[in-house]
Structure 1
Amino acid sequence: MTVAAATTGQDRSPDKLLAPVLSAFWDQPESWTLETYKRHEGYEGLKKALAMTPDDLIAYVKDAGLRGRGGAGFPTGMKWQFIPQGDGKPHYLVVNADESEPGTCKDIPLLFANPHSLIEGIVIACYAIRSSHAFVYLRGEVVPVLRRLHEAVREAYEAGYLGRDILGSGLDLELTVHAGAGAYICGEETALLDSLEGRRGQPRLRPPFPAVAGLYACPTVVNNVESIASVPAILHRGKEWFTSLGTEKSPGFTLYSLSGHVAAPGQYEAPLGITLRQLLDLSGGMRPGHRLKFWTPGGSSTPMFTDEHLDVPLDYEGVGAAGSMLGTKALQCFDETTCVVRAVTRWTEFYAHESCGKCTPCREGTYWLVQLLRDIEAGKGATADLEKLADIADNINGKSFCALGDGAASPIFSSLKYFRAEYEEHITGRGCPFDPARSTAWADTHLEVRA
């Protein structure tokens, strides 16, 4: 996996656009160890945090403007502030490491290469919300990451960064790493909490929200891995440094996961507001001989963009104004050889398979979307099916317990908006125009490129 690192500053030339913080030493030998982490100023932010009061610490993170890196971009400090104080109940921090969105691949490499950044962030966050027990809910299939995280936790206990009276501050903290069983729905925060409690992972009806009644019916903060791992650098380098990066409403740095038909896929850590055009310039562009056709700004559950959106600022406001969501910054890029109908069908099959079945719109709607899309892809569809697709997607969007339904509808709406003609070509041509056995134009294009 490519890890891009460069200096940052006012110079906006391609080689000066990146801001390596979390990924600054991923390529060093044994980057995951406590020794390497401390060599790069690890746990210095914790020392500064423990010198503050919990309320001042929450205010500091709020002033820095750190927004959640897991999808919605909700302010992290504000989420911490929602935890009621003086209620006599235990408070919990739960880190959502159940990364499973198609195209999203930032938290797992981060945990694999730099797990102590998360552990330090967890200790800081627990001090702020007055919690003595934190959980990391990790995707169970990534066994090498699970082992490495367990070892990092062991090192932290041994060095006194976890356990009783951390660094003489009086803070006691237990950290539990829990491996999930591979259900996409458990990436939804309330389904994750149900799974963590030993029940079937299904979204809860809200209110009450997790901040009031979360894990074990106690006040709980649920944060993404990157959100928590970003906190130590803010404390160590200062909120002014953090706000000097990114944009006014979306400050700071983040990991962009570039994948698909690109010359150099990988993690590119840059200030918020960089554009896909700039990232492609940094990574060598699309694969030789091909051009960008469509892309996702935040994984498959966000409305797709086309090449006309290359200069959209990749921050929460810029992407939102253009009609999509920044989400997890999973930039999947597809070239002109990709059939949009086929891609959307595969994504929809995923959402239908991963639907927990709790609510009717998602359970039934995703099933019927798959049936229609498969018929259209195979050349068995009718023109009226396009309206049916839009209608079913509309009956799912905003009407489900959780955002899985919205995510399933997004590729439908956006692909019909930008590539309706391609759907129609599947119907009128009785098959996929990208099938090499059926399309002379497709074959000519590929032969020309190969030549």
Structure 2
Amino acid sequence: MADPLTPVLTKRWLSPNSWRLSTYEQLEGYTALRKALSGTPEQLVQLVKDSGLRGRGGAGFPAGVKWSFMPPNEDKPHYLVINADEGEPGTCKDIPLMMADPHSLVEGCIIAAYAMRSHHCFIYVRGEALHPYRRLTAAVREAYRAGYLGKDILGSGFDLDITVHAGAGAYICGEETALLDSLEGRRGQPRLKPPFPAAAGLYAAPTTVNNVETIASVPFIVNGGADWFRRMGREKSPGPKIYSISGHVERPGQYEAPLGTTLRELLELCGGMKDGIPLKFWTPGGSSTPMFTAEHLDIPLDFEGAAEAGSMLGTTAVQVFNETVSVPWAVMKWTKFYEHESCGKCTPCREGTYWLAQILERMVEGRGTAEDIDTLLDVCDNILGRSFCALGDGAVSPITSGIKYFRDEFLALCESNKRELVGAQA
């Protein structure tokens, strides 16, 4: 690896009782908060802008720019909402962060809320993630008792309350406006935009929605400075990143590395391919990002590098598959997930994912035809860019990229069916 990284986001994870306030304070915990409260909100927003921190939830939008959208006046309440609804297949970075180091998220929330003049923060945790929910709730209680939350935090005159909210377990609630509807007690469905959350979000008030890893990075930026943060990663995608590596590797898990690290380097970190069976295909950011092949081993995994190669960095959920895996079978499994998780609000996604799943299931069972490939691509074309939110776009990514790189495997299913039909007729 060109620039080996001293752990930043994960540096406390292996400490004894790393989730306790006492451990956190021994390891520079809440020093960034004191530093932040001595400055102005405008200075903090500018610091995050200068650092180049980009959203770690998938879109990669500059965090400081997003914070600056929050209006400076306080005629309405300002809300900070943390998206901890980690539901993307293969993604496993926010849950271990909340389990091992919940106070880094809490401290980041306080700093971000101060920067945006918010006095109430909501952390929306995926409903099935019971253990991180409990650990995060305990960390919030510890912060209240220590004076880091509540009224007049550390004598600064700044007040903040944090509410940890458990969702009901719906993939769609990872979409920020569906999350806001769920927080308000309604069915989780994406909202039509505009208005955007910065103008009318939670309870129709100005709201900023950030990912867990994004906010947990903030205390380190406050303590280290923008230049220090920019020394890691690449020019347009600076900083460290937690890569979730799963599948056919020797040591799956979370690996912190600079943005721009390649899969070849990540495979070295996790011991290489399991049992030495060669790599066949992989996802750079979860199943909703177009897949890559063994030819893409040296693609820099940052926001620009992944996009230039025809995919997306997403949540850096690197799913690795060896040569024993059927691409149509994997694509069918992902598509059935999206069919199940579609909220049903818009027709292209609701109907399209259903038909995609039906066709793929028929093909995998050996009952497909060559025309099915064209039908799949046609349905994908009618979903892409036409659904209310990004779920539709994510659902078609594995199909279009699978056919792009492995069309022969899809054709083979159709050819075997054709031979069976000819044999039956004879």
TM range (shorter): over 0.9
Counterpart among 216, 223, 228 of residue 229 in structure 1: 216
The alpha-carbon deviation at position 18 of structure 1 amounts to 3.4
Alignment map for 1:431-442 (pairs within 5 Å): none
CA contact (8 A) 1:133 1:174 kept: yes
Partner of 1:313: 300
| Aligned residues with identical type, % of pairs | 66
CA contact (8 A) 2:369 2:417 kept: no
Partner of 1:443: none
- Find the aligned partners of 1:294 and 1:300 in 2 and give their Cα distance: 12
* 3-state SS, counterpart of residue 260 of structure 2: coil
Counterpart among 71, 81, 90 of residue 68 in structure 2: 81
Partner of 1:7: none
Counterpart among 216, 226, 233 of residue 246 in structure 1: 233
Runs of 4+ in 1 over 3 A off after TM superposition: none
Match status 1:179 vs 2:166: yes
Alignment map for 1:317-328 (pairs within 5 Å): 317-328=304-315
Partner of 2:421: none
- Find the aligned partners of 2:383 and 2:224 in 1 and give their Cα distance: 44
* Larger displacement relative to structure 2 (43-52 or 200-209): 43-52
Partner of 2:123: 136
Structure 2 CA distance for partners of 1:87 and 1:157, relative to 1, 3 Å: closer
Alignment map for 1:392-411 (pairs within 5 Å): 392-411=379-398
- Find the aligned partners of 2:413 and 2:174 in 1 and give their Cα distance: 34
- Find the aligned partners of 2:332 and 2:55 in 1 and give their Cα distance: 30
Instruction: Give aligned pairs, total.
Output: 418
- Find the aligned partners of 2:6 and 2:374 in 1 and give their Cα distance: 45
**Stretches of structure 2 lacking an aligned partner (at least 5 in a row):** 419-426
The alpha-carbon deviation at position 51 of structure 1 amounts to 1.2
Match status 1:150 vs 2:134: no
* Larger displacement relative to structure 2 (79-88 or 363-372): 79-88
Match status 1:160 vs 2:147: yes
- Find the aligned partners of 1:87 and 1:123 in 2 and give their Cα distance: 17
CA contact (8 A) 2:263 2:299 kept: yes
- Find the aligned partners of 1:25 and 1:285 in 2 and give their Cα distance: 26
The alpha-carbon deviation at position 430 of structure 1 amounts to 2.8
**Counterpart amino acid of 2:136?**
L
Match status 1:25 vs 2:12: yes
The alpha-carbon deviation at position 374 of structure 1 amounts to 0.5
- Find the aligned partners of 1:425 and 1:324 in 2 and give their Cα distance: 25
CA contact (8 A) 1:378 1:430 kept: no
* 3-state SS, counterpart of residue 300 of structure 1: coil
* 3-state SS, counterpart of residue 108 of structure 2: helix
TM-score w.r.t. length of structure 2: 0.97
* 3-state SS, counterpart of residue 200 of structure 1: coil
Alignment map for 1:22-421 (pairs within 5 Å): 22-421=9-408
- Find the aligned partners of 2:383 and 2:6 in 1 and give their Cα distance: 39
* 3-state SS, counterpart of residue 77 of structure 1: helix
Structure 2 CA distance for partners of 1:374 and 1:89, relative to 1, 3 Å: same
- Find the aligned partners of 2:357 and 2:269 in 1 and give their Cα distance: 37
- Find the aligned partners of 1:381 and 1:393 in 2 and give their Cα distance: 17
1:315-366, Cα deviation, whole Å (9 max, x unpaired) = 1000100000000000000000001011000000000000000000000000
- Find the aligned partners of 1:390 and 1:19 in 2 and give their Cα distance: 45
CA contact (8 A) 2:79 2:121 kept: yes
The alpha-carbon deviation at position 38 of structure 1 amounts to 1.0
TM-score w.r.t. length of structure 1: 0.92
* 3-state SS, counterpart of residue 259 of structure 1: strand
The alpha-carbon deviation at position 87 of structure 1 amounts to 5.0
CA contact (8 A) 2:286 2:315 kept: yes
- Find the aligned partners of 2:31 and 2:316 in 1 and give their Cα distance: 28
* 3-state SS, counterpart of residue 125 of structure 1: helix
Partner of 1:426: 413
* Larger displacement relative to structure 2 (81-90 or 335-344): 81-90
CA contact (8 A) 1:18 1:268 kept: no
The alpha-carbon deviation at position 17 of structure 1 amounts to 2.4
**Counterpart amino acid of 1:429?**
S
